[in-house]
Amino acid sequence: MNPSIGDRVRVAERVTRVRRSYRRIARWVDGETAFRRRIPIRGRIALFGAAVVALTVVIFSALVYVVVERSLVSQQNEALIQRSDTWWRFLETGGRFARPSLTPPTDLNTSSDLFVQVFDASGACSYSSGTIDAVCPDMPSSVFDSVPFQRGVFKDVRPSGGPLVHAYVRAWNRPDLGISGYLLVGQPQFGIQNQLDALRLFLIAGVFLSLVGAGAASWLVAGRALRPLRKFFRGEDVFLVLYGDVLTDLELRTVWYSHATTEADATVVVARVEDPTRAGLVAFDRDQRITRFVEKPAAHEVFSEWANAGIYLCGSKVLRYVSPGGQQDFARDLFPAMLADGCRLQASPTSALVIDFGSPERLELAGAAVHRRALRHEMVGEPC
């Protein structure tokens, strides 16, 4: 066997396995989310629009949160380093250490201000501008581990009985006096944490409001496809409506003849479906006059095998039922309202190809149907 042919066969087998897995997953998802079939199309559009906007806002909010968090931490680190440099220079060159008299000590459990602690070489506290219960904070001994002389290090420590502290620790030394120790400049973390909590709450509220706003906007906009064309259609006796996700080889002349001979206000093409719960069902009498519309009924509510095919011939009277505000759907709003007013709505049953390719598996089915039709035309030839 040609090696290249063998490679192609193996690739084709892998693709086939992937397709089978995808179809199994799609069938499982379809079964687990069967409730969505009962949601009106406007609701689906609203949910989809809200989900897209919400996902965008969530991603944007997460990025904002990360940027703000890093900015606050960076600002805190710079403030700790600046305060540490001032005190370190004083300890290294300023002579005898003295407690500043103008800076009253602050309680670390209630204040998020920066504080300074000076320790001797044994780790005993010599001075602190922050206290816990009016005493020098008792830092864990590990805070002085691996602290170099050349520079400081950042550590998160929790003093006994106190809050979590973000600290900058560095060593100091006075060889001329024979003394050395450690310098700690810290800040309780609850200050920054409170700011981040407030930001998080604000972003969550923003996501929720965006979700509600996007859903409302999508709901209001859905179903308005015909409204901008009212003036255009007003001068026409009859106009055709064909849903954009419908593939068909229907001969429209038969529908036109039915519409004209019955003098219907609107003619709806109907086709048999395998699963009536996934379609809008239509009931009609012997004269094919429509008596009832039900959009995607539950299994126990099924009353007909004929479904709305999404193809209509509409007279000018239909435009009278197009509301200037709000949202509308042909099968759910316009046609039931016309039936209630006694308008004549005619069914036009067909056995022609009608495929709603509004889902991935249906799109694949429509593609296969188009392919088969193209092959048939190649074998037989285009009709004259």
Say if CB 326 and CB 220 are below 8 A apart. yes
Residue 237 CA neighbour count, 13 Å, CB half: 5
Separation CA 30–CA 316 (nearest Å): 39
User: Along the 384 residues of the chain, how does pLDDT read in single tens digits?
Assistant: 455 566 666 777 777 888 888 778 877 776 666 655 556 555 666 677 777 888 888 889 899 999 999 999 999 999 999 998 888 888 887 654 444 444 678 889 999 899 999 998 888 998 888 999 888 999 998 888 888 877 889 999 999 999 999 999 999 888 878 888 999 999 999 989 999 999 999 988 888 888 787 777 766 665 555 555 566 666 667 888 888 888 888 888 888 888 989 889 999 999 888 777 777 888 899 899 999 888 777 777 778 888 888 899 988 888 888 776 556 778 888 888 899 999 999 999 988 888 888 777 778 887 887 777 654 444 334 433
Give which of 221, 224, 220 is closest to 329, Cα–Cα.
Answer: 224
Angle, CA of 14, 15 and 21, to the nearest 5° = 90
Q: What is the CA radius of gyration of the chain?
A: 37
For the chain, the residue count is: 384
Predicted local confidence at residue 304, as pLDDT? 83
Angle, CA of 380, 382 and 384, to the nearest 5° = 115
CA 341, 347, 280, 334 dihedral sign is negative
Say if CB 305 and CB 294 are below 8 A apart. no
3-state SS string for 245-298: CEEECCCHHHHHHHHHHHCCCEEEEEEECCCHHHCEEEEECCCCEEEEEEECCC
Separation CA 241–CA 239 (nearest Å): 7
Say if CB 290 and CB 342 are below 8 A apart. no
- pTM metric for this prediction: 0.50
